[in-house]
Amino acid sequence: MNVDTTNAGASREAGTAWWRGATIYQIYPRSFMDSNGDGIGDLKGIAQRLDHIAALGVDAIWISPFYTSPMADFGYDIADYCDVDPIFGNLHDFDELVARARELGLRVIVDQVYAHTSELHPWFVDSRSARDSAYSDWYVWADPKPDGSPPTNWQSVFGGPAWCWDARRGQYYLHNFLKQQPQLNVHNPHVQDALLAVARFWLERGVSGFRIDALNFTMHDPLLRDNPPAPDMGEVRTRPFDFQLQSYNQSHPDIPRFIERLQALIASYPDTFSLAEVGGRNALAEMQAFTDGPARLDSAYGFDFLYAPRLTPALVARALAAWNGPEVSGWPSWAFENHDAPRALSRWCAQEGDRDAFARLKAMLFFALRGNLILFQGEELGLLQDEVPFELLQDPEAIANWPLTLSRDGVRTPLPWRAQDEHGGFTKGAPWLPLGPQNLARSVDRQEADPNSQLRFTAELLTIRKRSPALVHGACEVLLADEARLVLRRTWGGEVVTALYNFTGEVQPWPKGVSAAGIWLARANIAPREGTPEGLPPYAAIWIQTGET
487 φ/ψ angles, rounded to the nearest 5 degrees? -130, 120
As a whole number of angstroms, the distance between CA 344 and CA 328 comes to 28
Q: For the purposes of burial, counting CB atoms within 10 Å of the CB of 451, is it exposed (0-12), middle (13-18) or buried (19 or more)?
A: exposed
Q: In 10 A of CB 95, how many CB atoms?
A: 13
Instruction: Kindly provide the b/e burial profile for residues 246-273, where b requires at least 16 CB atoms within 10 angstroms of the residue's own CB.
Output: bbbbbbbeebbebbeebbebbbeeeebb
Quick: pLDDT tens for 456-491.
999 999 999 999 999 999 999 999 999 999 999 999
Q: Give residue 406's pLDDT.
A: 67
Q: Give residue 534's pLDDT.
A: 85
Please name the amino acid found at residue 246: Q
Q: Give residue 530's pLDDT.
A: 66
Average pLDDT, the chain: 94
CATH topology (fold) of 474-547: Immunoglobulin-like (2.60.40)
pLDDT at residue 5 is higher than 50: no
pLDDT at residue 13 is higher than 60: no
Pick the closest to residue 168 from 123, 108, 125 (CA basis).
125
Helices 283-290 and 255-267 sit at what angle, rounded to 10 degrees?
Answer: 40
> Which residues of the chain are in CATH 2.60.40.1180 domains?
474-547
Q: For the purposes of burial, counting CB atoms within 10 Å of the CB of 321, is it exposed (0-12), middle (13-18) or buried (19 or more)?
A: middle
Given a contact cutoff of 8 angstroms between Cβ atoms, the answer to whether 437 and 494 are in contact is no
Active site residues: 213, 286
Given a contact cutoff of 8 angstroms between Cβ atoms, the answer to whether 223 and 212 are in contact is no
> Which residues of the chain are in CATH 3.90.400.10 domains?
122-174
Q: What percent of the chain has pLDDT over 90?
A: 88
Alpha carbon 8 to its chain's center: 28
Q: Output the CA–CA distances (angstroms, integers) from residue 108 to 8, 40, 103, 271, 527, in the order listed.
A: 27, 21, 12, 11, 39
Given a contact cutoff of 8 angstroms between Cβ atoms, the answer to whether 66 and 93 are in contact is no
Element (H, E) at 273: strand 273-277
> Which residues of the chain are in CATH 3.20.20.80 domains?
23-116+186-464
Quick: pLDDT tens for 18-53.
999 999 999 999 999 999 999 999 999 999 999 999
Specify the 3-state DSSP secondary structure of 260.
helix
Residue of higher predicted confidence among 24 and 13: 24
pLDDT at residue 235 is higher than 90: no
Out of 146-150, 390-394, 412-416, 439-443, least confident range: 390-394
As a whole number of angstroms, the distance between CA 309 and CA 299 comes to 25
Residue of higher predicted confidence among 81 and 238: 81
Q: How many Cα atoms occupy the beta-carbon half-sphere of 189 within 13 Å?
A: 2
pLDDT band at 405 (very low <50, low <70, confident <90, very high): low
Alpha carbon 183 to its chain's center: 22
pLDDT band at 9 (very low <50, low <70, confident <90, very high): very low
Q: Taking residues 210-216, report their average pLDDT.
A: 97
As a whole number of angstroms, the distance between CA 88 and CA 44 comes to 8
pLDDT at residue 398 is higher than 90: no
Q: What CATH number does the domain located at 23-116+186-464 have?
A: 3.20.20.80
Quick: pLDDT tens for 321-375.
999 876 667 899 999 999 999 999 999 999 999 999 999 999 999 999 999 999 9
Quick: pLDDT tens for 49-89.
999 999 999 999 999 999 999 999 999 999 999 999 999 99
Q: Give residue 11's pLDDT.
A: 33
Q: Which CATH architecture has domain 122-174?
A: Alpha-Beta Complex (3.90)
